[in-house]
Structure 1
């Protein structure tokens, strides 16, 4: 009987219709409820269909031990070679991810999505290989069984009695673009099993018949697969629906699960994840850190990290709170975070101290209106012990000496009190005070316990009759000893607890202060190098580990920036070697974390995180993890928050740079518009004059007198000279604006520069009285003489154009400390006060009426200002008394060397 595909369709287009440009690939999952239903055959059949439609299809990985019926479907498909040695002795090799990326087909077929890769490969799981293919723009068809979905593992195990080893996160299945259920009747599947069409050996067939392949179990698994596929169909339909409905789903419920190191916590997390999926709700995993959790065994630390990773894979947001009152901390978080449902495991509701109520009882009393779900777990391995066990006490000679010294001191004080005739109650107080002091100065509860017991024994030996004996005559002494022991033990315990809480609060305050300090420093950072430097130093302060940053330059990683935790110790080259930089390059390309403590490049020496804003990676941060303990939950959360602050600062800096570029473009556009507008209006007069005068000469040359011809020639010459000066000013301004103006600075005599300028001023200068006044004929300044000559020409021409004939124009120069002040003054009508503030702006012209009736472009004075500023000088204007105007500018003075 043929397999019946049931599809949960999305907007997944036909592969042949997808444009060739690179983008994220599409994922299609063929899911079955048990081995042998025909998932691989259905996938290969779909691959053949795509190939007929013109799609470039390759078989990336199909189990080499596939059944004969399955192997027949491989004919006609290109098969990529496998890589590596036989995986864990199973007799076949692994999927070659790099070869697949290099081949880059349109569609690749990859069997067994939940497979765990052999040690030494880039990724720990095959679904991570598939995600990298999708990010490279390659479409993927793949297969799984329903029990290999993480949230389904416990449910399926309870049905089959078999644990599931290889799983994929629910997010991989939920984010698939298309899901196809390959379904056949259980009776048909059992018939296949009996005919040997599922397993290759009789031993495997017999084992399957005893554990999985019973009609009742297969029916139950089939129902789960149908339900899961239907849920995916509903999810895809919800994604297609309007955004408002999706937002309502997101904010309707908030489910909270509590984390611990117990293995039973995995079932609690999976249950909460399924509830979050059903209710379309926010999902948070909360870890309550108490003083005891810092003394847990390595096994419990490993278990806590595994449960934390499982919660992250199932889509939970991780949160951490501190405090000794576990139900109180949970209740406080529930109230502040608007949690609607709490999921707890049986391991959490043990009694604390002498209280008769459990943690669950207290929690329900604190938040009675919140729905609380208790997930039973009956494995005896975890029912009889707490989630955390204390490590064996460490013996310290220093603490032993402190304990003994305090005990001796208390005994000496007690002897003194006894000689003074004080009552025994006063001496008991001294020993209780010694126990409190001992709890404050020693580390570890063992010393407080020893101090309490020894205080009772020493008091009995020295201060009760018979003296120097552990016996006691008075019948009330045993009660006194018990009360003294209980008081000493309780007081020492409370003192130790207060000290631990104080240390914990101080550490939390320190970490929070580091995060706030990071935010403040990043706001003050002025550029990308400063942002990286501040972030790296704050990460070193927070984590006490060596930090390495890779900045992004030209779409590639720049040289590593190393920030060691200990300045006096050199950082080994292995942390920045070729292998480590390859991991950083992968993080840049894929925008995912990798390296030590992850499932990607897990053999690396560093943990790599992308400093990203959305899909843009600004840098890659590496935390050296070699021979170091994995990051704690709160440390990891703060580190991610710190990198987020860094990304925001970099995003802000990038936006600032773009704004500057946009502002420059706007300025350039304004300059171009003003220039075109000015040219269109102000060039019309000289061009019309030149063309008109030339036309008169051409048409009336013979009838014109010599004097008339000379006048027309003169007008044409004046207009052409005006145009030449205009073009020179425009070219100079364009070179200054573009930054292509190169100054040739040399020491020049001011007198020679002024003389050169006067040779090129307006020919109408003969109608004015121009003179030069120098305080010293050896005045020298450091300048580019060609440009300063142009400044003087513009200033003198400006005076000629805006003063009546016969006016006095004076060029003067004098020394003022380390500067040379050059002035051009006239005795004309002067300039209005409101015009002085804008006179050096480009395209601004005063309202003075020129003799030729021509309005200037307003470029000359602006050019003078740019040239003088480029020389490091200043330019300005003031009134000339009794009348007229003075333009002045300054240049750097140069000493005169006289040689005999």
Structure 2
């Protein structure tokens, strides 16, 4: 099916491939052969186990085995059914990939899929092989697979600090933890190094490089210890799970909160918090504070933020969005109200120390919640990132300085006009105070209000007190006047900044609540399934300001659809052609059958031109929402949450009406 988009089969064939008639009911079981490095014997152990299963009469096929030049491993393939791999053309190179659809059609009882953490080539349905395995399990097929410790997401930073190698191919820890069985394949580091020297793992030249880099005795011992610990942790979880199943309570009262940010190194903070939550068997919450500054950031920042949110969700964190410019106030307030016991945050960078330096976010957070444990995660690359981000910071500072200078220049010009008509210098003082408030409102940096306050006093002294055009003042009362002006200017600028933050926070919360209210109110206006889906499409279009399609799947097909153009200027013929073409309909149909999002900006069928979200309740899928994505742009996290709420509320409304659809 996946060889090229233009030649994809119709949705009915896709249905037969994904859901063949089978007596195998229920979800398949996953067994992982787990090791600490290449060459420990994971594939060998998997093949031996498969041969035993086949000897016992089980239907076993080899879906994909990584090519090896190891005679003892290759010998174990004799007598096993090997499925033909899928060949994908990419940049003039033919790549060998696992044929997911071939296994779904064959539908064995057990399939072997090597290298669980592998990243698929473009043109495959899923971005990652573990997603292929998940689809096999959903189809009722049991899977044997292999993975090394360095490929677990939560251990990425720890392994990288030991080996100085960052592994790009990783799997979520939930895949490992949810496996029905994990078998640790273990040999001693010295025996593994002996295998390497004998050429049983890599060719001679590659083995020589590996022996002095990754395969050092120190590295292997450390990786082996991590693998043993991770396996022991999983056994401990199994014990707790059995205790829960027996009705025995297990409660620690711990609740870990991690602070999200668009920083590329925030991923390390999230992984650390996830390991902590796992170790303490604690609830796990990730908090994003959406400030005005974050809303206005470049699309690159938005993508980084979305990646960190997805990583937190991968660790099953409850992601919460708060609104306001004071990050510490928002985090502290949420932590106090929700029983947080531990806060995990990344360390901010301070390039210079000074007695006048303002407290860091961490200093303020410690003061705000003195009774909570706060864990500060160091960032080795923070200083480098600070240098790389300096251009953007300078641009923002320059913009704020320019705004402050223009406001002060305008105030001076107005005051000189009033002075020319001899309307009194007291009016000039009032104009400067209003200018200070305006500067605080227009700029993002808090120090601009202070700068404007000092500048207003100096400008007033220079232009409007005797002797003119000097910073001297003859009258003894002027020092008190200047002091009063400075205090008033500081207070008013501070109040203006606070009002700006509160207004932005209130506006965001009000908008969010209004959207939720409108969703519920509008959906209740629909008296038929068609009307409810029509309202759903309109709500999504108004939210995202993009071209939307609703595939009505209540009759088990994706050929009934309605398009909602973003504006009257959109080409209706183009949109109809886009959403009716076989490639897009196939993605929508996959979403319908699997009840998972897919398409552009996701890891499943990312080559599609739209992002598709299912509207379902329990096992009934009522519709699929398609959102056209142009130029690689993304949907903001908050808008994505609202989109999911619209889909969920629509499904509840249709479910309440008992508008059924085939299973």
Name the TM tier (shorter chain).
0.7 to 0.9
- Deviation digits for residues 45-86 of structure 1 (CA, Å, limit 9, x no counterpart): 222222222322222111235433322222222222222346
Rounded to whole Å, the distance in 1 between the matches of 2:229 and 2:92 is: 36
8 Å CA contact 2:120–2:128 kept in 1: the answer is yes
Alignment partner, residue 706 of structure 1: none
Alignment partner, residue 129 of structure 1: 132
Aligned 1:784-823 pairs, distance under 5 A: none
Distance 1:459 1:98, change over 3 A: same
Distance 1:330 1:598, change over 3 A: same
Aligned 1:453-602 pairs, distance under 5 A: 463=464, 495=496, 498-499=499-500, 501-571=502-572, 572-573=574-575, 574-602=578-606
Alignment partner, residue 281 of structure 2: 280
Any idea what SS the aligned residue of 2:104 has? Answer: helix
Deviation at 1:280, TM superposition (A): 2.4
8 Å CA contact 2:325–2:505 kept in 1: the answer is no
**1:94 aligned to 2:67?**
no
Alignment partner, residue 675 of structure 1: none
Distance 1:233 1:395, change over 3 A: closer
Alignment partner, residue 206 of structure 1: 208
Alignment partner, residue 885 of structure 1: none
- Deviation digits for residues 333-363 of structure 1 (CA, Å, limit 9, x no counterpart): 1122222222222239999996754433433
Distance 1:436 1:636, change over 3 A: same
Distance 1:333 1:474, change over 3 A: closer
8 Å CA contact 2:35–2:42 kept in 1: the answer is yes
Alignment partner, residue 630 of structure 1: 634
Any idea what SS the aligned residue of 2:209 has? Answer: helix
Deviation at 1:94, TM superposition (A): 1.6
Distance 1:353 1:545, change over 3 A: farther
Deviation at 1:185, TM superposition (A): 1.8
Deviation at 1:386, TM superposition (A): 11
Rounded to whole Å, the distance in 2 between the matches of 1:538 and 1:353 is: 53
Distance 1:630 1:461, change over 3 A: same
8 Å CA contact 1:414–1:430 kept in 2: the answer is no
Which of 162, 167, 171 is the aligned partner of 1:164? 167
Rounded to whole Å, the distance in 2 between the matches of 1:221 and 1:104 is: 36
- Deviation digits for residues 428-481 of structure 1 (CA, Å, limit 9, x no counterpart): 3224424545776x78889999999997898688656787xx666758999999
Deviation at 1:370, TM superposition (A): 2.6
Deviation at 1:163, TM superposition (A): 1.4
Rounded to whole Å, the distance in 2 between the matches of 1:90 and 1:42 is: 32
8 Å CA contact 2:252–2:280 kept in 1: the answer is no
Deviation at 1:198, TM superposition (A): 0.6
Rounded to whole Å, the distance in 2 between the matches of 1:599 and 1:368 is: 41
Rounded to whole Å, the distance in 1 between the matches of 2:374 and 2:432 is: 48
Aligned 1:842-881 pairs, distance under 5 A: none
Deviation at 1:151, TM superposition (A): 0.7
Q: Which moved more, 1:297-306 or 1:42-51?
A: 297-306
Alignment partner, residue 144 of structure 1: 147
The TM-score with structure 2 as length reference comes to 0.83
Aligned 1:99-248 pairs, distance under 5 A: 99-202=102-205, 204-243=206-245, 245=247, 248=249
**1:79 aligned to 2:82?**
yes
Deviation at 1:184, TM superposition (A): 1.2
Deviation at 1:119, TM superposition (A): 2.5
Rounded to whole Å, the distance in 2 between the matches of 1:630 and 1:410 is: 45
Any idea what SS the aligned residue of 1:287 has? Answer: strand
Deviation at 1:391, TM superposition (A): 8.1
Alignment partner, residue 422 of structure 2: 420
Any idea what SS the aligned residue of 2:348 has? Answer: helix
Distance 1:606 1:489, change over 3 A: farther
Rounded to whole Å, the distance in 2 between the matches of 1:223 and 1:176 is: 21
Structure 1: tracts of 5 or more residues without a match? 1-18, 659-900
Deviation at 1:113, TM superposition (A): 0.5
**1:289 aligned to 2:269?**
no
Rounded to whole Å, the distance in 2 between the matches of 1:90 and 1:201 is: 25
Structure 2: tracts of 5 or more residues without a match? 1-21
Alignment partner, residue 345 of structure 1: 346
Alignment length (residue pairs): 630
Alignment partner, residue 836 of structure 1: none
Deviation at 1:138, TM superposition (A): 1.6
- Deviation digits for residues 157-180 of structure 1 (CA, Å, limit 9, x no counterpart): 222222122110001111111111
Rounded to whole Å, the distance in 1 between the matches of 2:617 and 2:102 is: 31
Distance 1:395 1:271, change over 3 A: closer
8 Å CA contact 2:600–2:629 kept in 1: the answer is yes
8 Å CA contact 1:148–1:167 kept in 2: the answer is yes
8 Å CA contact 1:403–1:447 kept in 2: the answer is no
8 Å CA contact 1:407–1:434 kept in 2: the answer is no
Any idea what SS the aligned residue of 2:286 has? Answer: strand
Alignment partner, residue 325 of structure 2: 324
Distance 1:451 1:337, change over 3 A: closer
8 Å CA contact 1:251–1:282 kept in 2: the answer is no
Max radius of gyration: which structure?
Answer: 1
- Deviation digits for residues 107-127 of structure 1 (CA, Å, limit 9, x no counterpart): 211111101112232211111
Any idea what SS the aligned residue of 1:60 has? Answer: strand
Any idea what SS the aligned residue of 2:395 has? Answer: coil
The TM-score with structure 1 as length reference comes to 0.63
Aligned 1:247-326 pairs, distance under 5 A: 248-249=249-250, 252-326=253-327
Distance 1:581 1:77, change over 3 A: same
Deviation at 1:317, TM superposition (A): 1.4
Any idea what SS the aligned residue of 2:658 has? Answer: helix
Rounded to whole Å, the distance in 1 between the matches of 2:208 and 2:383 is: 30
Q: Which moved more, 1:272-281 or 1:237-246?
A: 237-246
Rounded to whole Å, the distance in 1 between the matches of 2:136 and 2:271 is: 28
Alignment partner, residue 372 of structure 1: 374
Provide the alpha-carbon RMSD of the alignment.
3.9
